[in-house]
Amino acid sequence: MKSFTHLWLLIVASSLCASCLCDENPGRGLCIDDERVALLQFKHDLIDDANRLSSWSSANIDCCTWDGIVCDNFTGHVQELHLRGPDPEREDASTQMLKGNINRSLLLLKQLKYLDLSCNDFGVTQIPSFIGSLRNLRYLNLSMSQFFGEVPHQLGNLSMLVVLDLGNGPWLSNVPMNSMHWLSSLRLLKFLDLSGYDLNSASDWFQVVSNLPSLVELHLPSSNLTQIPNQLSEVNFTSLTVLDLSYNIFDTMMPWWIFSLESVVSKT
């Protein structure tokens, strides 16, 4: 994700209405009342053993100064929510992770563009389908957060997405995905990680990902893939620079066209 952290920074820097931490600009307005209430409702449904959200308090009415929150300088709307947990390899990781449920109150954050809930523990539950209603999202990272089950097709409504990371760690491999058609409408997507999802039943996987016109990085390791087309036809990989198909056991040799993709600088 390092390269796409840089990508997101470039996107933010080029925005006409730049976002930054609101407490760095004493001249900005306070956060929106409804959004502050929504964030407190969101916190209420979380288990925060490490007290990571201690700054989220009704005693501090400016939610733009709360940890992990980035607001628009001029409107006060919440634009980014940074709640990534610790590295799962840390010995104390489990005590630092957020747990509990994701409250629908996030839908009140109408201008939310960036949502990172990765490396937390949401109790082997399905990704909430209502996240697909956050239509302004450009960045969505739910990786390694113990989500399980079919990815809701509603995520295909997030037509503004540039980065989508749903990758699972080895403890939740073989999460089934029967179709990838929901990805077809994500025409702006540059980064896609579905590590650990079982794509063996998703017969449309190659057709879908090869026709995402903006795709730069594709990560599908440990996805139980066994087949890949031998012939290159109707494929649009002109922007692709990283292709990760590692830890899959294919029935045949890698087709010649993969090695002839001029734009791909990393094939694993």
What is the domain-level CATH number for residue 80?
3.80.10.10
β-partners of residue 81 are: 69, 115
pLDDT on residue 16 = 39
User: What's the confidence (pLDDT) of residue 4?
Assistant: 59
| Cα–Cα distance measured from residue 105 to residue 130, given in angstroms and rounded to the nearest whole number | 10
Residue 148 Cα distances to 163, 235, 242, angstroms: 20, 30, 26
- The whole-number pLDDT of residue 194 equals 95
Query: Is 86 in contact with 95 (CB distance < 8 Å)?
Result: no
Determine the structural domain holding residue 201 and report its residue range. Answer: 2-267
> pLDDT band at 14, cuts 50/70/90?
very low
234 falls in which pLDDT band (50, 70, 90)? low
What size, in residues, is the chain?
Answer: 268
Top mean-pLDDT range of 109-113, 197-201, 264-268:
109-113
Q: Where are the alpha helices (DSSP H) in 178-235?
A: 205-209
> Into how many domains does the chain fold?
1
Q: What is the pLDDT of residue 12?
A: 53
CA distance 254 to 267: 11
Q: Any idea which residue has 């628009």 for tokens?
A: 72
Give pLDDT, residue 36.
98
Q: How confident is the model at residue 124, as a pLDDT?
A: 79
Given this model, what pLDDT does residue 32 score? 96
Bridge partners for 183 per DSSP = none
pLDDT band of residue 96 (cuts 50, 70, 90) is: very high
Average pLDDT estimate for 68-82? 96
Q: Are strands 78-82 and 69-72 parallel, antiparallel or unpaired?
A: antiparallel
pLDDT at 25: 40
Q: Is the confidence at residue 231, as pLDDT, over 80? A: no
Poorest-confidence range of 45-54, 107-116, 226-235, 245-254? 226-235
- Mean pLDDT of all residues in the chain? 86
Q: What is the DSSP letter of 125?
A: B
At residue 257, the pLDDT reads 77
Of 11-25, 70-84, 139-153, 184-198, minimum mean pLDDT range: 11-25
pLDDT for 55 beyond 80? yes
